[in-house]
Amino acid sequence: DMKVTQMPRYLIKRMGENVLLECGQDMSHETMYWYRQDPGLGLQLIYISYDVDSNSEGDIPKGYRVSRKKREHFSLILDSAKTNQTSVYFCASRGQTHSGNTLYFGEGSRLIVV
Amino acid sequence: GDQVEQSPSALSLHEGTGSALRCNFTTTMRAVQWFRKNSRGSLINLFYLASGTKENGRLKSAFDSKERYSTLHIRDAQLEDSGTYFCAASSNAYKVIFGKGTHLHVLP
């Protein structure tokens, strides 16, 4: 079953606290992504991971870091959360299907920073 | 940088009617993917195109890399088609850029 799983789905943190968002995929896809989605802004790319320990900044990496120690797991870390990091975070993996090089998304993690 | 311009930003349709969503690209893209965000907030794959057109039920999508655009046509709109539609395009093997979305509201 092709699935991207995100944990937690909902999270409330205080400003300055650490945040760990986790993502898993069961498709052995090499490439994984973290996006954030805010109203009116679409999805903005935070980080790309090409494979284990091979990560690259996206368009808005500031305030975030990532970790990919196993192909099936890709974590997003906020070391000191800010209120402007309140958002819905989506993880995706990308791999070949009969249709093409398709993105598969998790169900999102809603983070509120107070 | 590479950009994806999606239009319209919002659209209201009466049940049974149809319309088209469009994404214009500022550079040549290799492929485009269309998604719908459902009421639970999940992003549902609709189409992946590297060229040409694809059709699935009441939805049809086209991608013209040379002319730098893609369209998503909805016909015979139903209430359950309401949601936010996104296009996403890739200019290289890895980076995927999203449009800002189209909020579709289907009216009874």
* Residue A98, token pair as written in the block: 């009969």
Residue with more model confidence, A38 or A99: A38
| Sole residue written with tokens 């070391």 | A79
The owner of tokens 């052995």 is A28
Mean pLDDT of all residues in A25-33: 93
The pLDDT of A56-64, averaged and rounded, is 96
Please tell me the distance from the alpha carbon of residue A102 to that of residue A49, in angstroms, as a whole number: 15
Average pLDDT, integer, range A106-110: 95
Residue of A nearest to B37 (CA): A107
How far B93 CA lies from chain A's nearest CA (Å)?
9
Q: Any chain B CB within 8 A of the CB of A27?
A: no
Q: Which residues pair with A77 in a beta bridge?
A: A20, A65
Calculate how close chain B gets to A92, using CA atoms only, in Å: 10
Q: Is B10 an 8 Å CB contact of chain A? A: no
Looking at residue B91, what is its pLDDT?
A: 85
Integer CA distances (angstroms), B70 to A51, A102, A112, B93, in order: 30, 16, 34, 19
Q: CA–CA separation, A68 vs B64, rounded Å? A: 35
CA-nearest of B79, B61, B75 to B17 is B75
Per-residue model confidence (pLDDT) at position B1: 65
* A-contacting residues in B 31-90 (Cβ below 8 Å): 31, 33, 35, 40-43, 45, 47-50, 86, 88, 90
The closest CB to that of A100, out of B35, B48, B94, belongs to B48
Distance CA(A9)–CA(A114), nearest Å, equals: 17
What is the distance between the alpha carbons of residues B9 and B101, in angstroms, rounded to a whole number? Answer: 6
Mean pLDDT of B38-54: 91
Segment B31-46 mean pLDDT = 91
Which chain A residues are Cβ-neighbours of B61 within 8 angstroms? none
Give the mean pLDDT of chain B: 94
Radius of gyration of chain B (CA): 13
> For chain B, how far is it from start to end, CA to CA, in angstroms?
41
Q: Which of these, A17, A107, A20, lies nearest to A66 by C-alpha position?
A: A20
Mean pLDDT lowest among A40-44, A82-86, B49-53, B59-63: A40-44
pLDDT band at residue A101 under the 50/70/90 scheme? confident
Average the pLDDT over B56-69 and give the result: 97
User: A68: which residues sit within 8 A by CB, 6+ positions away?
Assistant: A32, A49, A51, A52, A53, A54, A55, A74, A75
Using an 8 Å Cβ cutoff, are B67 and B50 in contact? no
Question: Worst-scoring range by mean pLDDT, A6-10, A83-87, A99-103, B17-21?
Answer: A99-103
Calpha distance B91→B11 (Å, rounded): 28
**Cα dihedral angle (A47, A51, A53, A57), rounded to 10 degrees?**
-20
Provide the 3-class DSSP secondary structure of residue B53.
Answer: strand
